[in-house]
Chains A and B, each alone.
Chain A
Amino acid sequence: MSFSFTDEQTEFRSILRRFLAEKSPTTEVRRLMETEDGYDPDVWRQLSQDLGVTAIHIPEEYGGQGFGFVELAIVLEEMGRSLLCAPYFSTVVMAATAILNAGDEEQKRALLPPISAGKNRAALAFTEENGRWDSAGMAMTAKAVEDGYQLDGVKSFVLDGHTAELIVVLARAPGTAGDNGLSFFTVAGDADGLSRKRLQGVDDTRKLARLEFNGVSAQLLGSEGAAAALLTKTLDQAVTCLANEMVGGAEALREQALDYAQLRMQFGRTIASFQTMKHKSADMLIDVELAKSAAYYAAAAADGDHDGGEELGAMASLAKAGAAEAYMQTAIHTIQIHGGIGFTWDNDTHLWFKRAKSSEVFLGEPSYHRELMLQRWQG
């Protein structure tokens, strides 16, 4: 376990940071969050074709770059820092990872190269209207028909579900319950019988959709009835990535709060000279650094680099719970340090505050992950 980034990884991070600072300033974030699709096709093209980040953790035989979760986590940390509005988490982190885990060789060869190349935007639809993040909560049925399967039911809280061209869907054989009978399927975004509606979100930088399936034709992805464990694996990986995205956002907020405190004058001094501000800032640093350490550890563990004797899912849940608390707390402190202006729409702090809130809940809020972590704790 190395506990440090290589020089190449650090260089990769700084290239991304420069790119995102230029392409995703808050003026762009504000513009895109008002749009229906929520992303800029030109920036998406540059991300995939110039920087190759849509291919980062996809193996080379499927048109990818063949890096691991540590590199993917670097991308996400930087995207979290800059609040990039793009269908990256849905396409690369969730859908591509699900296909990598569940698909057979032929399916991976067919589905992954367009994702790697940024030509296909995808989503993973598993949560339903009950808001459960575990496989046992899924009710959508997949009925076997002559040329495949037919899906009936409703998926909700689907990240970028309204714009995805390819949707990976979790559904169960009629009459099954719990972890049994669950399979992954793929569906075209414009399939007959599929109606998609964007949901009004607190965090407009992350678009959620409700997807209603009425006899929608679907293709089985991988083996029938084997999806429960593969969903768990996919979610552990996605949660690790989300933790890294969150610590990027938290660090950005921490720095903004510090910059503001250094400039704001009250009672004839910068407010940064008041001990109450200094101590709050020190606490924010600790919150963020501890959360970063856990997020980095979980990413390395997802690549197989860890101390051993640990359940990797427990590390993912630990990182998610820690990052969620740290991000939200940092956002609360940042608004407080800004005072009245921090509560205005024109000040940018609320953009990160809302991303912190949606990230806290998305894929399971902290108490859910703490319980999950303890169930899987070893040692």
Chain B
Amino acid sequence: MSEINETEVLEEIHAWLEVNWDPNLSLVEWRNKLADSGWGMPAWPKEWYGRGLPDGMVSAIEEEFQKIGAIGVARAGIRMLAAATLLEHGSQMHKEKFLRRILTGEDTWCQLFSEPGSGSDLAGAVTRADLKDGKWIINGQKVWTTSAHHAQWGLLLARTDWDLPKHKGLSYFVLDMTQDAVDVQPLRQMNGHASFNQVFFTDAVIDPEYQVEGLGDGWKIATTTLMHERRGADGLRRWAMGTNRPERAYVEEREEIAHAMAPYKWYPQRMGRVDLVIERAKETGKYDDPVVRQEIAKLLTLAKSAEWTARRARAAAVLGRNQGPEGSIGKLAASHVARLGNHVHTMISGADAMLTGSDSSMDGVIAEILVSTPAISIAGGTDEIQRNIISERVLGMPKEPRNDTDRPFRDVPRNLIR
């Protein structure tokens, strides 16, 4: 392989954008150009809408997009997890049928993994896929499904063999979400929002060519999806910032962002809103209370230390050094910040902390913090699972003995409460 010269690559993308970027195109027209040129996903292989460039070069290329104001490929929702998974495990047909429409934003995807009976213990899924007359018939229930209400396609983890140990009896499918046998219901959370869905399958149908890899490969492929989720490929985690420019592509991008982000308006609040603390304490007069001041200072210490730890991890990654322990603790640190943020906002608000909506401070934003922070220590891997990951993978401590992997799944004790 010839040496890749970063400067030449950046000159090339700059020149390409100068010629091709046109904000008066529709988003789909523009993103098709990105797919054809490979500049939308430069680290993807050349035969699949990429340019085969190293991952490390992507952020510099994205900067060239920003300089000229060019919009990138669609990223919101689960679509990038679907794309990464299909790129690695999908068939030729899957790649041809799905990848381009993921990048253009024409198709929306959802991830059908979690179930009421299996959250942290994802491999305990009991949604079943049975082969009848040459079709897979799906029955069961999934939960916490982002975007399911407007998704065309779902990544489904389902059990195809009950006589094998739990991880071996799972298979992975692409499910057509638009069929009648798929019933999507919003799931209302304790903070009143409904950002996720429950999905019920009653004899839903999947053609065999929509299975990804073979029977029993489900857990392996799900691991790929989850690895990409942890790496932050999930576009939802970053708050896309549209611009106010009037051209067609920008208008469409604003609509796309608003549509994708609408259910997640409370997400900043679940982080504890440390940014509001000093201003709020000054407003309520609690900034002069020495007890409150101690708690505010503890919160700022924790939040700043967590931020600097994340930056140490990023600096190590940029230098190509082995990521030290600082890379694994961000999620857990965020839980601590959110919990303490909740505590401090409560102290600052006093009696107002009992109120919500228009009767409360900042038109309900403070109340939303107080009832949203529990999410951060559960979603995307509970604090307990994070601690297991840290202790096993970073500290090298042994796994606990378990009694669910050495026997047929049908003999594994299951939830008494469903």
Tell whether B130 is near chain A: CB-to-CB under 8 Å: no
Given B302, B390, B400, which contacts A275 in the complex, CB threshold below 8 Å? Answer: B400
Query: Pick the contact of A3 from B296, B304, B311 — CB < 8 Å?
Result: B311
Known: A262-B397, A285-B329, A371-B290. A293 touches B298 (CB 8 A): no
Cβ contact within 8 Å between A282 and B301: no
Question: Do A270 and B297 contact each other (CB < 8 Å), given the known contacts A3-B308, A283-B387, A296-B312?
Answer: no
Q: Is A197 an interface residue (CB 8 A)?
A: no
Verify B395–A282 contact, CB threshold 8 A: yes
Question: A278-B400, A292-B309, A373-B301 known; 12 other A-B pairs, CB under 8 Å?
Answer: A4-B316, A4-B319, A273-B398, A273-B399, A275-B388, A277-B397, A278-B392, A282-B387, A285-B329, A285-B395, A286-B332, A293-B326
How many Å lie between the Cα of A294 and that of B396 in the bound state?
A: 26
Given A279-B391, A281-B391, check contact A272 B397 (CB 8 Å): yes
Q: Is the CB of A278 within 8 A of B293?
A: no
| Contact residues in B for A74 (Cβ distance below 8 Å) | none
- Chain A CB within 8 A of B189 CB: no
- Mark A260-290 against chain B: 1 for CB-CB distance below 8 A, else 0: 0110000001101111011101110110011
Given contact pairs A285-B394, A296-B312, A321 touches B297 in the complex (Cβ within 8 A): yes
A residues within 8 A CB of B309? 289-290, 292-293
| Residues on A facing B (Cβ under 8 Å) | 1-4, 258, 261-262, 269-270, 272-275, 277-279, 281-283, 285-286, 289-294, 296-297, 318, 321-322, 367, 370-371, 373-374, 377
Q: Is the CB of B301 within 8 A of A322?
A: yes
Report yes or no: B384 in contact with A4, Cβ–Cβ below 8 A.
no
Interface flag for B118 (CB, 8 Å): no
Q: Which residues of A have CB within 8 Å of B123? A: none
Q: Mark B304-325, 1 if CB is under 8 A from A, else 0.
A: 1110110110111001010001
- Residue B353 interfacial (CB < 8 Å): no
Whether B325 and A289, one on each chain, are in contact in the complex, defined by CB atoms closer than 8 angstroms, is yes
Chain B residues contacting A269 (CB-CB under 8 Å) are: 398, 401
User: Given contacts A3-B312, A285-B395, A318-B304, is CB(A278)–CB(B294) below 8 Å?
Assistant: no
In-complex Cβ contact of B305 among A279, A282, A294, A370 (8 A): A294
Report the Cα distance A367→B301, complex, angstroms.
12
* In the bound complex, CA of A277 to CA of B308 (Å): 27
> Given the interface contacts A289-B325, A293-B308, does A4 sit within 8 Å of B315 by beta carbon?
yes
- Categorize the interface residue count of chain B: 35 or more
With CB as the reference atom, state the residue of chain B lying closest to A371. B293
Residue-wise interface mask of B (365-403) relative to A, using a CB-CB cutoff of 8 A (1 in contact, 0 not): 000000000000000000010111011101111111100
In Å, the complex CA distance between A370 and B299 comes to 10
Knowing A272-B398, A273-B401, A322-B305, the reply to whether A279 touches B316 (Cβ < 8 A) is no
A368 to B55: give the CA distance in the assembly, Å. Answer: 46
Once bound together, how far apart are the Cα atoms of A258 and B396, in whole Å? 9
CB of B87 closer than 8 Å to a CB of A = no
**B226 at the A/B interface (Cβ < 8 Å)?**
no
Q: List 7 A-B contacts (CB under 8 A).
A: A3-B308, A278-B391, A281-B395, A290-B306, A293-B305, A322-B301, A370-B301
A278 neighbours in B (Cβ, 8 Å): 387-388, 391-392, 395, 397, 400
Question: Which residues of the other chain, B, contact A290 by a CB distance below 8 angstroms?
Answer: 302, 305-306, 309, 329, 333
- B residues near A272, Cβ cutoff 8 Å: 397-398
Give the CA-CA distance A45 to B86 in the complex, in Å.
64
B181 touches A (CB below 8 Å): no
Does B251 have its Cβ within 8 Å of any Cβ on chain A? no
Q: Identify which of B290, B333, B384, B392 contacts A286 (C-beta below 8 A).
A: B333
Q: How far is the CA of A36 from the CA of B41 in the complex (A)?
A: 68
Q: Which residue of B lies closest to A6 (CB)?
A: B319
A282 touches B298 (CB 8 A): no
Sort A-B residue pairs by CB-CB distance and give the 8 closest, nearest first.
Answer: A370-B297, A278-B391, A293-B308, A3-B315, A290-B305, A282-B387, A282-B390, A4-B315
* CB–CB B305/A374 < 8 A: no
How far does the Cβ of B189 sit from chain A's closest Cβ, in whole Å? 26
Chain B, 124-161, contact with A by CB distance < 8 Å: what is the 0/1 string? 00000000000000000000000000000000000000
What is the CA–CA distance of A377 and B312 in the complex, to the nearest angstrom?
23
Contact in complex: A373, B326 (CB < 8 Å): no
Complex: chain A residue closest to B336, CB-CB: A286
Complex-state Cα separation, A371 to B291, whole angstroms = 10
Q: Which residues of B contact A285 (CB under 8 A)?
A: 325, 329, 390, 394-395
Is B278 in contact with chain A by the CB < 8 A criterion? Answer: yes
Q: Which residues of B contact A286 (CB under 8 A)?
A: 329, 332-333, 336, 390
Q: Which residue of the partner chain A has the closest CB to B386? A: A282
Complex Cα distance, B386 from A285, in Å, reads 12
Kindly state whether residue B300 has any CB partner on chain A within 8 Å: yes
For chain B, residues 274 to 300, give those with C-beta under 8 angstroms from any C-beta of chain A. Answer: 278, 290, 293-294, 296-298, 300
B336: chain A residues within 8 A (beta carbon): 286
Chain B's closest residue to A274 (CB) is: B400
- Which chain B positions have C-beta within 8 A of A262? 396-397
Tell me, rounded to whole Å, the shortest Cβ–Cβ distance linking A323 to chain B.
10
A282: chain B residues at CB < 8 Å are 329, 332, 386-388, 390-391, 394-395
| Residues A279 and B387 in contact in the complex (CB < 8 Å), given A290-B306, A367-B294 | yes
Q: How far is the CA of A273 from the CA of B396 in the complex (A)?
A: 10
Give, as a whole number of angstroms, the nearest-CB distance from B317 to chain A: 10
Q: Please, which residues of chain B bring their CB within 8 A of the CB of A370?
A: 293-294, 297-298, 301
**Complex-state Cα separation, A374 to B299, whole angstroms:** 11
- Residues from chain A with Cβ under 8 Å of B319 in the complex: 4
Interface centre among B308, B311, B392, B400 (most CB of A within 10 A): B308
